[in-house]
Every structure is written in C-alpha cells, then in structure tokens.
C-alpha cells in the first residue's frame, strides 16, 4: 500500500500558469515520470470539469509518498496521484476506504499493472472495502481465491473519467 499526500506550498497569480509540482519520497525514475503525467493530466481534466478552478495551474504543490526510506518505482500509482491532486484542487476528500491502482496515460486511459493479488491483499489488510482496478486486470482479479475477493466492492475502469465518478461523492 502506498499513501499519497499532497499539499499546497503557495499560490501564484491565478491568471498566470506558474504552478509547479515538487515530488518527494525516495521515488524511482518511472514513478517520477508518473507524477509528471498525472500532474499534466490533472490540470487538463480539472479545466474540462471546472474551467473556473485554476488551482493546479497557479499553485506550487508538494506531492509526497511517505516512508521515504523505502524505494518506490513503477507506474501503478498514476490514477492515485491524479486523484490526490484533484482532491487538493477541489478541496474535497475522496470516498473513504477506497484503494486504486493503474498506470495513467496522458489522455487518461487506465493501463494494466502487475501484482494484483498482492495489492488486493494489502488493501484488505488496512480495511479497504472498495477497489478500483484497470479493466484489463479483470482476469487477474477473477483468478484470485474467493476468500480474498470476499467483501470487496470492485470497479474495473478504462479511463480516469470512470475513476473520478466513483471516487468523488459528487
């Protein structure tokens, strides 16, 4: 389980696109790239959803993945990073007891990831009851024993639009 934290460092002139993203937490190159992709997509997505919300364009943000002594790499947290940024920008918490995984493309497509069994088991260990997975990982989930799947509300998503509609109680 990775937890993603975001915080506003400061706001620039809201009419200027001078925002920035600082990323910390002993991240590998692939995860740093995922952060940049998520940041770019989140700005575009938010503009589409609410053109008056310029928060991501004008704010200097800090994104941190705790447990900095543990190296973290890979693209699996892309959709989670977008969600953390949008939650901060909208000043709205996400639905509780949810976990998600999925690589994010620049256009918002949610791509498959590895380690579904381990990710589901870790999520259940910390009390997660709702899981969002890439649609292309459905077979991986279906192959899990029933006792692991028991008690989970599972959503298979193809695009971040679907994730957004599930994760935010609009």
Tens digit of each residue's pLDDT (9 = 90 or more) over 79-104: 999 999 999 999 999 999 999 999 99
Asked if residue 33 lies in contact with residue 77, where contact means CB atoms within 8 angstroms, the answer is no
pLDDT tens for 53-84 read 999 999 999 999 998 666 788 889 999 999 99
The structural domains of the chain, ordered by start, are 5-167 (3.30.230.10)
Residues 6+ apart with CB under 8 A from 35: 21, 23, 27, 63, 81
Report, as residue numbers or ranges, the catalytic residues: 76, 119
User: Mean pLDDT throughout 130-157?
Assistant: 97
Q: What is the DSSP letter of 67?
A: -
What is the overall mean pLDDT for the chain? 93
């Amino acid at each position: 389980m990775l937890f993603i934290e975001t915080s506003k460092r400061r706001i620039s002139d809201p009419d200027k696109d001078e925002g920035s993203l600082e990323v910390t937490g002993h991240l590998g190159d692939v995860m740093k790239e995922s952060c940049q992709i998520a940041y770019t997509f989140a700005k575009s997505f938010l503009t589409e959803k609410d053109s008056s919300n310029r928060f991501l364009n004008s704010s200097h943000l800090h994104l941190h993945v705790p447990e900095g002594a543990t190296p973290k790499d890979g693209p699996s947290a892309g959709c989670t990073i977008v969600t953390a940024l949008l939650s901060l920008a909208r000043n709205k918490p996400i639905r509780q007891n949810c976990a998600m995984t999925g690589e994010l493309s620049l256009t918002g497509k949610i791509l498959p990831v590895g380690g579904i069994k381990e990710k589901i088991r870790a999520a259940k260990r910390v009390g997660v009851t709702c899981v969002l997975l890439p649609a292309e990982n459905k077979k991986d989930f279906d192959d899990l024993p029933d006792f692991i799947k028991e008690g989970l509300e599972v959503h298979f998503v193809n695009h971040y639009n679907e994730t957004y509609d599930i994760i935010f109680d609009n």
